[in-house]
A and B are shown apart, each in its own frame.
Chain A
Amino acid sequence: MTRKRRSRTGERALWVAGASATLVLVALLVLVLGDAVTSGGSALTWTFLSQPPRDGMRAGGVLPAIVGTALLTLGMTVVAVPAGVATAVWLVAYVPKASRRATLVRVAVANLAAVPAVVFGLFGLGFFVSVVGKRMDAVLQTAGPVWGKPALVWSALTLALLTLPVVVVSAEQAMRTVPRDLLDASLALGATRWQTIVRVLIPEALPGIMTGTVLAIGRGAGEVAPILFTGVAYYLPSLPTSPADPFMSLGYHAYVLATQSPDPARTRPLLGATVLMLLAVTLAASSAAIVLRSRARGRR
């Protein structure tokens, strides 16, 4: 009797400890979101969204950073999503799941995901800017460096590499849940393998591909370390007009406001509002991914 009661106390203690630990995780999220809302909510005005920074970043808004982040994310998505889907198609439809070739590619994708963000920055500078860009300038015989310097396109490509694993994993998972009957039926009707991929496999796996895409966008929009040396700028008077231009980004702008303001008290609301914008983009992406995934699960 006594033993049993003691063990129930122990069980309850463990339950409470575990539940408290879980609550801590919930509280952390609330804390970070709450701080962003309280410190930036009041500064999030139409002026803030539609104006460039003014007065040494103590006034005005973040329009160039919004545009820059949008262009950057767009460029990244245009590269990462087709490449990721193609990789997933190859893994699912062209090689046996446990073959050596498939394992090689899967391990490479997993390791790409493990490379620290700042190392992607080093790579972007050491490869895209210094090798590819310089080579392009030499071939195109440009007057002075045009491509061989940090630019929007190199940042987008660096981020595409960073987010590629996200797309591959989601797309592959989704493609593996497409019922075999559907693919069999398509093949039995005389479709080629490629037709089956384009008209059955990819459309059926679309929710999963979309999940991977929004996850990649959320991840890419928030990253700062990979773009530090590959194209982001402290301040630009005009919006980027070419892929070879530098750009401003919300994440880097938040970093700049937080560390290099001459007047932290006046910058604080602007910083909060910038953080709030960034959180809105990334959390909207995470939430969209969660909704898409639960819908896809519900359908099957």
Chain B
Amino acid sequence: MDAEPTVHPLPLAVAPATARPRASLARRPRPLERLAEGLVRVTAYGAVAAVGAVLFFVLREAVPLFADAALALEVPAGSLFSPTAAADGAWQFVWQPVAEPPKLNLLPLLLGSLKVTLVALLVATPVAVMAALWVSEFAPARARQPVKIVVELLAGVPSVVVGVFALSVLASWVQRAAHTPHRLNALVAGLALSLAVAPLVFTVAEDALRAVPDSYRAAGRALGADRRHVALGIVLPAASPGILAGIALGAARALGETMIVLLASGNAAIFDTDLGLSTRTVTATIAQELGEVTVGSAHWHVLFVLGAMLVVVSLGVNVASDAAMRHMRRKLGTGS
């Protein structure tokens, strides 16, 4: 039995008030039921095992790159990040896994992921947060539900569909407007990503704004603040940890998104900050190269290193934003 004092919402999991030997009002289970209950428990812990297994099997293929002596000699860990000298003596960072010898520098890919993620956040965050603020503070009650439905439908659009839209429509618009050197580039990929990021940021931000108790708003109004000051000066700051958590989750989503960038970024690993140039991200690299790589080669292990980076960052962001959200709810007294 668990030692923590808890509130039990359902009688099925209720600890006895009196010192009875059984933990619930229920009768002793029959033998077959005991088996079923065992299965239920195993399945529940299966989720824990699954997360562990995902980490284990990705890391298992990533670690040899650093641990295996022959591989470490072939691709020293430092070479993944340090520049090489070009023919004219200038420093360069090159990802050319099929060149001879292979050039496996991760910086072009990391920069690519960073570029598209920043564009996506810069575009999606203001729109999503403003929309969330409007829905939670200003919108007439009958507009709320439809807006939420639209956002849910937008979130339900598969990323490959967004990618195709970016490739065939958005890219042409961007090129006409910005005259970018490449038709598919970091800007197009970032804009397309913002379609996937905005619903997520909106949902988390709206949740956070809703968690601010009405007493805050009433107190503000009673002190003479108008709705704008209540919204921007009271509700928004109070909800800011949750909104930041939403932005962080949006960043993780953008970093981890594959099909959109695969279709919209042009996929050339160019180490350059120019948003108009074609770009290759970490996820797109895995998606494009894992199918053709020799199992067990240095290139294979490097792809798993990229996967390990992705999973570590995503889980880290998830845990941190969850903690931020919890902290905020506790502070506001709306925790569950």
Contacts and interface: CB of A to CB of B under 8 A. Distances in A.
A92 B29 CA distance: 17
Contacts of B163: 255, 258
A7 interface: yes
B131 interface: yes
Contacts of B10: 92-93, 175-176, 178, 180, 183
B255 interface: yes
B13 A96 contact: yes
B207 interface: no
Contacts of A1: none
Nearest to A93: B12
A111 B262 contact: no
Interface in A102-140: 104-105, 107-123, 125-127, 130-131
A22 B131 contact: yes
A18 interface: yes
B214 interface: no
A117 B258 contact: yes
A21 B130 contact: yes
A279 B157 contact: yes
A8 interface: yes
Contacts of A161: 50, 54
Contact of B2 (A99, A130, A191): A99
Interface residues of B, number: 106
A86 to B, nearest CB: 4
A254 B262 CA distance: 13
Contacts of B8: 96-97
Contacts of A111: 51, 315, 318-319
Contact of B287 (A15, A104, A118, A271): A118
A156 interface: no
B36 interface: yes
Contact of B7 (A97, A223, A224, A251): A97
Determine which residue in B51, B169, B314 has the highest number of CB atoms from chain A within 10 A of its CB, and name it: B51
B4 A258 contact: no
B40 A228 contact: no
Interface in A154-179: 161, 164-165, 168, 175-176, 178
Given A14-B231, A126-B61, A87 B165 contact: no
Interface string B154-178: 1011111111110111000000000
Interface of B: 2, 4, 6-13, 15, 24-30, 33, 36-37, 39-41, 43-48, 50-51, 53-54, 57-58, 60-61, 126-131, 133-135, 137-139, 147, 149-154, 156-165, 167-169, 195, 198-199, 202, 226-229, 231-232, 249, 252, 255-259, 262-263, 283, 286-287, 290-291, 295, 303-304, 307, 310-311, 314-315, 317-319, 322
5 contacts: A112-B51, A121-B286, A219-B156, A228-B291, A283-B157
Given A187-B11, A193-B27, 9 more contacts: A18-B137, A18-B139, A19-B138, A112-B51, A118-B310, A123-B54, A180-B11, A228-B287, A283-B153
